[in-house]
Structures are given as C-alpha cells and as structure tokens.
Amino acid sequence: MDTSKFYEFDLGVSARINEIISDTKEMAPNWMQYGIFEKVKSDSMIYRTKGVTGFGDLEKFAEGATISYDETYPQYATEYPMQQFGKGVTISQLLMETRPSELEQKLDEVRQLRIKANRTIQKNAWQILIDAFVTTDSNSNLPTARLDDAVSLISASHPSRVSGVAVRSNVIVSAGVTNPTLGETALFDAQVKIKEMLDGRGLPTEYEGGYLLVVAPKLEKTAVEITKSTKRSGTANNDLNYFEGTCDVVVAPIGAVNGGSDTAWFVMAKDAPVKPFKYAYLIDPKIEKDTDFDTKTIKITVDAAYAFGYSCWEYVVGSTGLLS
C-alpha cells in the first residue's frame, strides 16, 4: 500500500504556505506610519488607561517664603476589551490530485487572508473617525473604545473633573461657522484650535509641532491643493503657501462608502506628547496552518485579538463639513 501521497501533499503545500507566511509577515497597515496611533501590548483581556491632569505653572516665591505644592487630578478612563477576529481556508488532498490549477488559486487565497487581515485592522483603526461625532458604534464588528466622559470624540462639551474648569470643545469653528467645509481659512483656524487647546486643568497645551489633515477620498483634491501648492491655492496673488511643509495629508477610508462622511475632515497633532489613538493588542495578526489527517486537508487561519480607541482627545479637532 502506497502511504507516501498524503505526506508528499502535506510537505509540498506546507512549504508553499511557509513561503507565503514569510513573504507577508512584515505587512503592516499604513496608519502605523502616521504617528497618531500608540501600539501597546496588553497582558489581559481588558487593557485599561486612566489619565491625570498635568501640574499648574510654576509660581514665584520670595526668599524665606514657602514654595507652593501641587498635585495632579484623575481624568477619564478608557477600557479596551480584547476581541478576537479571524478567518480560515482549507486545502484538500483531492484538490492537488484532481485540480492542480485550482490549488494555485487556493494558495493565493492564503495570501489574500493575510491581506484581508491588514484591511480589517485598517478599517477598525479609521472607524474611530467614522464614529467621531457619535457615542455609539455604527458597525458592531468594528468597535471603538472610548473615554468614559459620555461624549463623542469630537464634541463641544468635553467635561473636566477639575473644579472650576468649564467644558471644552474640539469642534472646528471658523469665521463664526461651526463645522465649516474644508478650506484654507478653516484649516488655519483648526490648527490654531489645537495650539490653544485647553487640557483637563484648563491650561493651554501650547502645541508646537506639525499637523495631519485627514480626509475621505472625495476631499483629497481639495486637501492637496490647499497644503501642497507652492503658492496659495485658488488665488491670483503671490503669497507663499503657509501650509506647505507643515501639514501632511492622509486620505483614509472614512467616506460614505465606508459608512462615514464625504464632507467631514480632521486635523491632528502628529508630534503630540500623547498620541491621540491607541491600538491595544493581545495577539498581533498571525497566519498559521495545521494538518488534519482524518479529513486529509490542511487548514490555514489568520487571527488576532485587539482593540482600537482613544484615551485622549485634546490633539484632535474635527468638522462634519455641514456648516452647522
């Protein structure tokens, strides 16, 4: 009795799968490069963060006088519950023996599994902005972990836990218009809002770094014209473009086709001392295989366990673009 066939199948297909695993192991979603996500490893099923206010400014004191003492105050917390995501395919021994051309297609499906894992993570990351103006998840498969301050990421009424500090806003207002459409003046006002943003203690954060302008694909042309033109966009004068070199454009899957908005736009501090968003993971995406001798198949799966959300909003401002 010939017993080598399944062994040969297992050995040959496994070698091809190992090549695919090796080729795709360095894949990373593009949002990792923008510097607005902090990647943290969780060691439990729920990763928790709890912020505190900073100190007040130093106070002068005279010779022989007592120095002023201060303390930080607790801020709002975020819980990131780890959730598992995955998918798999099977390759049978009969497939190799009877339909070798389909075997190549199946092996390509393994590669597509890894690519789909990347795209799923990318969609989950940007879901934070799709749901930035609401307090609930519009897609239950792509949840967002939020601060427990009971308001949306972009809100005109962010509460403070420090007595005497009023609510704060990260909604873009320009020329007296709330939620303006994307334009040169509105973008400048959005940057100023980040520069003058108040922290939980009611003190300006005094941000001094660069910016990211995040838009849906339908706003890409407008965003690039405003920020990348050598001279000012849409004008006949000779002024230099203020935004060139200071504001980068990120085109993200946050448009209507993904359940978001084609008019909304966001500005973020790309050099913020606290990154706006978090990717907390228990299991980074991985591709694995196993041989099922009883059914004469090889099973390949991609899985991960992670959560996306935010523990800080002070370095993100946004507009629905609806002039409301």
pLDDT value of position 324: 83
Residue 18 CB burial class (10 angstroms; 0-12, 13-18, ≥19): exposed
Whole-number Å distance between alpha carbons of 79 and 159: 18
- In this structure, the number of other CB atoms found within 10 A of the CB of residue 263 comes to 19
Contact in structure between 200 and 162 (CB atoms under 8 Å): yes
Angstrom distance (rounded) from CA 270 to CA 247 = 9
For residues 164 and 177, what is the distance between their CA atoms, to the nearest angstrom?
A: 28
Would you tell me how many other CB atoms lie within 10 Å of the CB of residue 104?
A: 11
Determine the Cα–Cα distance for residues 167 and 165; give it in Å rounded to an integer: 7
Domain range 5-52+74-314, its CATH number among 3.90.1690, 3.40.50, 1.25.40, 1.10.540: 3.90.1690
> Would you state the structure tokens that stand for residue 169, as one six-digit string?
């806003």
- pLDDT at residue 7, rounded to an integer: 63
pTM of the model: 0.85
What angle (nearest 5°) sits at the alpha carbon of residue 105, between those of residues 102 and 111? Answer: 155
pLDDT of the residue at 156? 97
Where are the chain's structural domains? 5-52+74-314
Closest CA relative to residue 153, chosen from 168, 165, 166, 170: 170
**Strands across the sheet containing 277-292:** 37-41, 277-292, 297-310, 83-92
CB 200 within 8 A of CB 75: yes
Identify whether the C-beta of residue 305 lies closer than 8 Å to the C-beta of residue 251.
no
Tokens of 296: 């004469």
3-state SS, one letter per residue, for the chain: CCCCHHHHHHHHHHHHHHHHHHHHCCCCCHHHHHCCEEEEECCCCEEEEEEECCCCCCCCCCCCCCCCCCCCCEEEEEEEECEEEEEEEEEEHHHHHHCHHHHHHHHHHHHHHHHHHHHHHHHHHHHHHHCCCCCCCCCCCCCCECECCCCCCCCCCECCCCCCCCCECCECEECCEECCCCCHHHHHHHHHHHHCCECCCCCECCCCCCEEEEECHHHHHHHHHHHHCCECCCCCCCCECCCCCCEEEEECCCCHHHCCCCCCEEEEECCCCCCCEEEEEEEEEEEEEEEECCCCEEEEEEEEEEEEEECCCCCEEEECCCCC
Tens of pLDDT, residue by residue, the chain (324 residues): 344 566 666 677 777 777 877 777 666 677 888 889 999 999 999 999 987 677 777 888 888 888 888 776 678 999 999 999 999 988 877 766 666 667 777 778 888 888 888 889 999 999 999 999 999 999 999 999 999 999 999 999 999 988 888 899 999 999 999 999 999 999 999 999 999 998 888 888 889 999 999 999 999 999 999 998 776 555 666 667 788 888 999 999 999 999 999 999 999 999 898 898 999 999 988 888 888 878 878 888 889 999 999 999 999 999 999 998
Could you identify the residue written with the tokens 């001798």? 293
